[in-house]
Structure 1
Amino acid sequence: MTTPASQRPTRIVVDLDHLTFNLSNIRSHVGVPVMGIVKANAYGHGLVPVALHLQAQGVEQLGVAFVEEGVALRQAGITTPILVLGGIFGPQVAQFIVHDLEITVSSLDKLRQVEAAAQALGRKAVIHLKIDTGMERIGVHSYSAKSFIEAAVASTWCELKGIYSHLACADDPNSPMTAEQLERFLEACEHISRLGAPMPLRHLANSGGILHFPQTHLDMVRPGILLYGVLPDPASQPTVTVKPALSLVSQVVYFKVVKANNPVSYGATWASATDTRVVTIPIGYGDGYPRALSSRGEVLIRSQRYPVVGRVCMDQFMVDIGLDSAWNEDEVVLIGEQEGQRISAEAVAERAGTIPYEILTGLNDRIPREYRGGSPALAPARGTTPPAWG
């Protein structure tokens, strides 16, 4: 493999055609509109290129966490409706309205803040009401939501587009909590029916809900990690066929023979009992490759699995290849496939003692992204480029 001088040997490769495949299969499975969740730099895949691609596929809605992410998408030319899912900060409310971003309203006080900002601008705000059905994060408790919903329905300056909650345990198909949350959510929505108002979009299902609980699909679903081809939890069942969209690859930059009992890396925590061959890979925890993979991770080189040895450094880590051979510039796969062998994000997470969400979203802007596939209209989004916002 030859790497251009201007391109770092470590890179993320995103297959946009896999995103298309995943979106299509999710749509077929649920039969309702999809809100593609692109928060946290599109789960490490690159906020703007992924959003552009999803827009080209006709995704009905996009979801982000913060107003800054929504503004970045608008500045990149995204016209698809965007809901900001996080709690709002009063001084930022005007930015939502100016940039045509839909607002999560999570309390009566927040509703009044949005109304005041909309009136000052002379422009209606589009809102989604957040109902807390058991997550205890943001939102009005379902059992005390009546006055909140009444105020939103009666609002002059707010257009009520949606009402939603978030499932806490849907990744586990055997959890009884999801049924309880659905019941609480539907009871809260009944307040709207009693008022004789049009029912806004009801959305509840995250990736776990999409996979395991069809009764939660309602009027729209919000796939996050599933959209990127990764299951949310070891307990999750693959009821929707998806393909991983992200690969993390690097190259060998150094080879040496390490004598028996000579420790490798910081802290001298690992040494081979015999002479061995060790190669160095130019990526570390400064890029988001977890230090927890010290002497626990594995990589693919020439379609063989080899262990990470010693502590992962900020910018590099070492791999023991035993008596095998490897050359400088050989491809190294950290997440992805090589000649029929695969290391999944789920497997990396398990070895690191964490969840695949943290692995993917932790891959930061030091790593260039390369985009493959997709529509010719998205040519500016392809090639090797850092994400626009992370």
Structure 2
Amino acid sequence: MTTLPDAAVRADEVGQRPTRIVVDLDALSHNLHALRIHAGVPVMGIVKANAYGHGLVPVARHLQAQGAEQLGVAFLEEGVALRRAGITLPILVMGGIFGPQAAQLIAEDLEITVSSIDKLRQVEAAAQALGRQATIHLKIDTGMERIGVHSYHAGPFIEAAVASRWCRVKGVYSHLACADDPASPMTRQQLGRFLEACAHFERIGAPMPLRHLANSGGLLHFPETHLDMVRPGIALYGVLPDPAAQPTVALRPVMSLVSQVVYFKVVPAGHPVSYGATWAPKADTRVVTVPIGYGDGFPRALSSRGEVLIRGRRHPIVGRICMDQFMVDIGPQGTAYNEDAVVLIGRQGDQAIGCEAVAQAAGTIPYEILVGLNGRIPREYVGGAQEPGSR
């Protein structure tokens, strides 16, 4: 008898879970090319946070195959995972780094965000110890107050980086705080601060590195921020970043979240449904159970607020969402059978539920919906050039 180690049973050994995320690689291709045409400059595809829930390695492989010029991640571990998967594109690690990470960043051929003179010195020391030059991007803080040297103190920082023997300054960048809202005046203020900081390269006679500033909001709303490269994140996946955002580019949603009916029953009038007895029908009604819950990252905040599609019709989620399941009221005359398809995000017939609508119902932002969907949900990739083992 063979004893399996913990967590050694794979999904394909026990059957595919009915709940799954479907990732449309053709839609991803469309968005990449549409955003590049709109911006008129190269694209750094942002694949941090498991490619916004879409799957880090499969998405990165597809973007590489589709000609993305660069990838961006948040952490060292994400960059290492991509290198282990055979991704050869330039990869910028955008988060703040710890000094001990510098050597591995250089060894893995990852581009490093340098956000202060102290960080520069740490990277220099690691590069010298390895006998290998580091590729860096300088981070300028123009208003986020997160990481980076303040734009009005950038001169000495830039001079130190340009003078470094062990660091090659490939890029200089900042991050826009309010670009999701096209009416916000802050974006143009940040652009002005950034350009003034970048002008220091010219003042000291140094070559201008690659300037990148525009996130999804900047790309969609502020063409003056496109500069030398753009960094689409959520827009790359066909989702608008904010209710105020304008669909200035025709994007296609890449993700669908689907499940199936697992149970059907008639609930009598006045009988409460789910934990806390927070909802009960006023008349006899038909209720179905769907096998996904907050344990998968589907927000509990959608309890008695969200909707799903079954047989092409919208139906409300009722009662509190459980860890692994939730219930849907299909009405006194509603029809549904076990294994009927349920769409939580996506299209069914002529009806659609967008990630933006789910976020609004949950009282949050689309980013949190996408990245919150965790690894318990299998990903299925359709369209595009399929990679072996990409699921």
TM-score class, shorter-chain normalisation, is over 0.9
Aligned residue among 340, 354, 364 for 1:354: 364
State the AA in 1 paired with 2:139: K
- Measured against aligned partners, the alpha-carbon deviations of 1:261-301 in whole angstroms (never above 9, x if no partner) come to 00000000000011111100000000000000000000000
Q: How does 1:39-54 map to 2 (within 5 A)?
A: 39-54=48-63
| Alignment pair present for 1:35 and 2:44 | yes
Root-mean-square deviation over aligned CA pairs: 1.0
For 1:204 and 1:319, how far apart are their aligned partners in 2? 44
| Alignment pair present for 1:111 and 2:98 | no
State the AA in 1 paired with 2:83: R
Q: Between the two proteins, what is the percent identity of the paired residues?
A: 78
Q: Which residue of 1 aligns with 2:344?
A: 334
Q: How does 1:2-151 map to 2 (within 5 A)?
A: 6-151=15-160
Q: How does 1:204-219 map to 2 (within 5 A)?
A: 204-219=213-228
* TM-score where L is the length of structure 1: 0.96
Q: Which residue of 1 aligns with 2:279?
A: 270
For 2:99 and 2:352, how far apart are their aligned partners in 1? 46
Report the CA distance shift for 1:206/1:118 in structure 2 as closer, same or farther (over 3 A).
same
Aligned residue among 301, 307, 320 for 1:298: 307
For 1:157 and 1:340, how far apart are their aligned partners in 2? 58
| Alignment pair present for 1:180 and 2:195 | no
For 2:75 and 2:13, how far apart are their aligned partners in 1? 36
Which consecutive unaligned segments of at least 5 residues does structure 1 have?
Answer: 386-390
Report the CA distance shift for 1:5/1:324 in structure 2 as closer, same or farther (over 3 A).
farther
For 2:121 and 2:217, how far apart are their aligned partners in 1? 33
C-alpha displacement of 1:93: 1.1
Q: Which residue of 1 aligns with 2:177?
A: 168
Q: Which residue of 1 aligns with 2:6?
A: none
Q: Which residue of 2 aligns with 1:388?
A: none
For 1:103 and 1:4, how far apart are their aligned partners in 2? 40
For 2:274 and 2:126, how far apart are their aligned partners in 1? 55
Name the SS for the 2:287 alignment partner.
strand
Which consecutive unaligned segments of at least 5 residues does structure 2 have?
Answer: 1-11
C-alpha displacement of 1:5: 5.8
State the AA in 2 paired with 1:259: P
Q: Which residue of 2 aligns with 1:253?
A: 262
Aligned residue among 262, 285, 296 for 1:287: 296
- Measured against aligned partners, the alpha-carbon deviations of 1:19-57 in whole angstroms (never above 9, x if no partner) come to 000001001101100000000000000000000000001
| Alignment pair present for 1:366 and 2:355 | no
For 1:9 and 1:126, how far apart are their aligned partners in 2? 45
For 2:34 and 2:93, how far apart are their aligned partners in 1? 25
C-alpha displacement of 1:380: 3.4
For 2:291 and 2:271, how far apart are their aligned partners in 1? 21
| Alignment pair present for 1:320 and 2:329 | yes
C-alpha displacement of 1:100: 0.3
Structure 1 stretches of 4+ with a deviation exceeding 6 A read: none
Number of residue equivalences: 379
Name the SS for the 2:389 alignment partner.
helix
State the AA in 1 paired with 2:38: H
- Measured against aligned partners, the alpha-carbon deviations of 1:304-355 in whole angstroms (never above 9, x if no partner) come to 1000000000000000011211000000000000011100000000000000
* TM-score where L is the length of structure 2: 0.96
Q: How does 1:182-201 map to 2 (within 5 A)?
A: 182-201=191-210
Larger RCO (alpha carbons 8 Å, 6+ apart): 1
Moved more, 4-13 or 201-210: 4-13
Q: Which residue of 1 aligns with 2:3?
A: none
